[in-house]
Amino acid sequence: MRYVVVVTGVPGTGKSTVAKLLADRIGAVCIDVSKTAVEMGFLEGWDEERGTGIADLEAISEYVSKVLSEHESVVVEGHYAHDVVPEEEATHVFVLRRHPVELREELESRGYSRGKVMENVEAEILDVCLVEALSRFGSDRVWELDVSGRKPEEVVEEMVRALRGESEPRSGVVDWIGVLESEERLDEFLGG
């Protein structure tokens, strides 16, 4: 069976690790869109304030389409992977979610600036990648996976079950605002 798998989520959710493991498991080619953008020169410029390249989504989309035409199965990963895979091609879209406390610690350990940490944590709390994936692909191909406290291999097993048709697409299962409210930590993240 042909698989075109999108693995998305904010930085720090484990996309690269999980995507590589999944690609190995199913014999697919793996594309890291952020790495590809830099290596192939698919950048429109540099965002000094955020300390990141500005991806040329059109060029990356063309590259992804070329790879899709040359390989049976492909895993495309990155926080904007859902923007570069042709809508009609994606068979499965996995949105990785991570508890904001874990995510903040991970991004801080990477040396991200405070602003970049908070921007990504807030995007996670507000479901940005999930909403974008659902908007592009619809709920019938999107699986929202909470990776908090889980080993990458466990997450891959859950993905493989989805690929085999053993689990239904699901979204709306993560509610970080509710979790943070119950932990009395919401103000610490949203400055309320």
Domain ranges across the chain: 4-190
Q: Where is average pLDDT lowest: 34-48, 56-70, 93-107, 129-143?
A: 34-48
Q: Using alpha carbons only, give the angle 59, 65, 66 rounded to the nearest 5 degrees.
A: 90
CB 5 within 8 A of CB 75: yes
* pLDDT score of 192 more than 70: no
The pLDDT of 164-168, averaged and rounded, is 97
Quick check: 189 pLDDT over 90? no
CATH number for the region 4-190 comes to: 3.40.50.300
Instruction: Indicate the average pLDDT of the chain.
Output: 95
pLDDT at 143 over 70: yes
Q: Is the pTM of this model over 0.85?
A: yes
